[in-house]
Chain A
Amino acid sequence: DAKTTQPNSMESNEEEPVHLPCNHSTISGTDYIHWYRQLPSQGPEYVIHGLTSNVNNRMASLAIAEDRKSSTLILHRATLRDAAVYYCILRGIYGNKLVFGAGTILRVKS
């Protein structure tokens, strides 16, 4: 099963951009890269996903490396409400056994 590697924690100042990295060197050609986040005392929630091209939505942007072995979740202006654990996972065509790992704890300072 394809695995991802993320830093344990990161810190950001409020109103500044945040770049959360994820390495997935064993990604296969049909794997989608998904990002989820988990706010305190809540279940994980979807943030964004992509296959090859960079993606934007109202929550964030996803930048995918050309070789697809890494990706970066970009929060353009971090707020205190963005403090959460962020998970990067791969989901393939047989993508049922999803490995979340420990994720990255994002702390946002005011």
Chain B
Amino acid sequence: EAQVTQNPRYLITVTGKKLTVTCSQNMNHEYMSWYRQDPGLGLRQIYYSMNVEVTDKGDVPEGYKVSRKEKRNFPLILESPSPNQTSLYFCASSHGQSNEKLFFGSGTQLSVL
């Protein structure tokens, strides 16, 4: 089954404790992206990647890191999480052309205390 898998589904952590949210896709997609969703603000793009070893900033990259060492994986790293990073996070993937549809993961609800 074609899917984008995020883990964990829920995460509670404390300020400053490094964490990684994983994202994996099984569709051989070139493009992967991370979004955060906050009430009233819709989906805001954090980082995206067009292919292995190619990443770029979205609209809200501060406080986040990503890596794309393999085509199927695109982890989101919070080196020193802060409470303002409490949010619902979504990973998405697609083939790279503009007429290709995005597939989204089920989301990761992160709480930073």
Contacts and interface: CB of A to CB of B under 8 A. Distances in A.
Given A44-B90, A45-B104, A91 B45 contact: no
B10 to A, nearest CB: 12
B98 A95 contact: yes
A12 to B, nearest CB: 21
Given A44-B104, A100-B35, 14 more contacts: A30-B98, A31-B98, A34-B101, A43-B104, A46-B102, A49-B99, A91-B98, A91-B99, A93-B98, A95-B98, A96-B48, A99-B59, A100-B42, A100-B45
The A interface, classified by DSSP as helix, strand, loop or mixed, is loop
A92 B104 contact: no
Interface residues of A, number: 26
A101 interface: yes
Interface string A82-109: 0001010001110111111111000000
Interface string B36-80: 000011111100101000001011000000000000000000000
B51 to A, nearest CB: 11
11 contacts: A43-B4, A44-B92, A46-B103, A87-B42, A93-B98, A97-B45, A97-B56, A98-B48, A100-B45, A101-B43, A102-B40
Interface string B74-113: 0000000000000000101000001101111111000000
A98 B99 contact: no
B3 to A, nearest CB: 11
